[in-house]
Amino acid sequence: MDIDVRGPRFGAAVTAAVLATVLVTGSAWLLAWQTLAFALGAAGGVTRSPYGLLFKAAVRPRIGPPTGFEAPGPPRFAQAVGLAFAAVGLVGYAVGPAWLGLAATACALAAAFLNAVFGYCLGCEMYLLVRRVSVRVQ
């Protein structure tokens, strides 16, 4: 079942705000929360992530019916990519080196920012590229 395209974009905006706050404060706890949010989105899909549930309950009823849909696979893969970067960042913030936490968090922030502001999902594009390559290999 396809998903409302505005949901992942909303989630990316919240994610970008959280990750920017992590970069400013250096809070490993806040990054741990974002890591959990990514894990839930990767495991259950973006509609079952905390930000997806918030979108469904508080935002979507106020903005009307969906204007476009997309397959859930690419955003779910993007959540897994975000999880990997957040996990590396969490290790950097929690046990060091600090530059690792900063770099991994900044990369995740850049990807979330691109999705939130421009609707360009790097993780989704990675997913589609992998699918194209795997089809050619077979």
- Residues 104-119 have pLDDT tens digits of 999 999 999 999 999 9
Q: For residue 58, give both structure tokens.
A: 């508080």
SS3 23: helix
Peptide bond into 97 cis (omega under 30): yes
pTM of the model: 0.93
Residues 60-101 have pLDDT tens digits of 999 999 989 999 999 999 999 999 999 999 999 999 999 999
Nearest CA to 126 out of 75, 87, 84 is that of 75
